[in-house]
Structure 1
Amino acid sequence: MKSEQQSKTIKTATEPDKQHVIDSLVLAFTTDPTWRWNYPDTDDYLEYFPEFVRIYGGKAFDHGTAHYVEGFAGGSLWLPPGVRPDEDALVELFQESLSEERQEQAWNVLEQLASYYPDEPFWHLTVLGVEPVHQRKGYGTALLGNMLTTCDQEGEVVYLESSNPENIPLYARHGFEILGSIQENEIPPLIPMVREPQR
């Protein structure tokens, strides 16, 4: 049996790891307020949320900035400065998978989010999650620390959107500051956060 320390080893995902990382993130978000509001039906969630992960954070696999806890207990997808999710693909996904009412609310949220993007080049932590059975074991901290050290060394800003209020304290402990709160009608709040490089 692997020790607790060994299981916190963070690895960079390669192509053969891609589906394992996405599967881990799908499990991690099964109780996420925002994404389960969008996809309350289990079948819909399992069909469409993996595609959202691929679209919103999947470019991290191309840039060597997708990471996972050894054993795939959790993962994180980081987009380098200047790299953005495929907005056209996101539009297509929402049109296919959300009702018209929920689509409209989703567009309004996305439009508001864009106003919170930092002015300077920034890393975008698009998705970070740990499977429920492995939460509160330090894996989220390990996934964050792995990249934040690099960002600090390079003097680069990091931006994220938290879809679960329970994760705010974790991000705050690592130097992230809340920029605001976005809530559109019944959608649970989405919290944009930013972290300046730390010395």
Structure 2
Amino acid sequence: MEKPAIISVDEGSASRVLDIITLAFGRDPVARFFFSTPEAYLHWWPRWVMAIGKNGFAAGGVEATADFRAGAIWLPPGVETDPADIAALDMPAGDPEEDALSEALQAAMAEYHPSEPHWYLWTLGADPSVQGQGYGALLLEHRLAQIDERSEPAYLEASSPGLVPFYKRFGFEQIGLIDVDPVPPLVPMFRPPR
């Protein structure tokens, strides 16, 4: 594979990154647990991704390959999701059991989220037609080199235990397991400053 250039993406090109992430996460166990039908997934998943990662665009935390085959949304240190962006989604109310599961999952995730300033990898994905060809690794290497120059930590939640070895190759270590049955488990991973 000839390495494509990495570009910074602002909110004006957000839809292109959201398209990548939507394709990439089509079989993701956690995403599909909450957005289980094709209609719900295609409608709500890109909106959910944007609501969580919106502030990353203005903060320079979003990158893609120049051919828009892979993208990553990071929230840099000090940049957080705005609760108003989530509220603005105006998602239909779920049943009380589903709402309780969502709240329990968010609470369990918060237990592992570092309190110190860090880079948070919200999403990393590649178009399924190029998955396994190094696009995600290229984006990760590029951003981690910048993070290492600043000697800052990074954090993510792997949405499948099968992703753990991939992230370990880049210095992330598993720091626990987020297991809120019946939601598929998430694996919190931390990468200390270098």
TM-score grouping bracket, smaller chain normalisation: over 0.9
Deviation per CA, 1:41-76, whole angstroms, max 9, x where unpaired?
000001100111101112111112210112111100
**Does the alignment pair 1:12 with 2:8?**
yes
Structure 1 gap ranges (5+): none
Match of 1:148 in 2: 144
Q: Which of 132, 138, 141 is the equivalent residue of 2:134?
A: 138
Segments of 4+ moved more than 4 angstroms: 91-95
Q: Which of 183, 186, 190 is the equivalent residue of 1:190?
A: 186
- How big is the shift at 1:93? 4.4
Match of 1:113 in 2: 109
Deviation per CA, 1:131-187, whole angstroms, max 9, x where unpaired?
211100001111101110111110100011111222211110000011111121210
Alpha carbon RMSD of aligned pairs, Å? 1.7
Q: TM-score, normalised by structure 1?
A: 0.91
Give 1:32-51 correspondences, 5 Å limit.
32-51=28-47
Match of 2:81 in 1: 85
The answer on whether the counterparts of 2:59 and 2:79 sit within 8 Å (CA) in structure 1 is no
The answer on whether the counterparts of 1:11 and 1:68 sit within 8 Å (CA) in structure 2 is yes
Give the share of equivalent positions with the same residue, in percent: 35
Task: Provide the rounded CA distance (Å) in 2 between the counterparts of 1:149 and 1:184.
Answer: 34
Task: Provide the rounded CA distance (Å) in 1 between the counterparts of 2:183 and 2:24.
Answer: 19
Q: TM-score, normalised by structure 2?
A: 0.93
Give the letter aligned to residue 128 of structure 1.
L
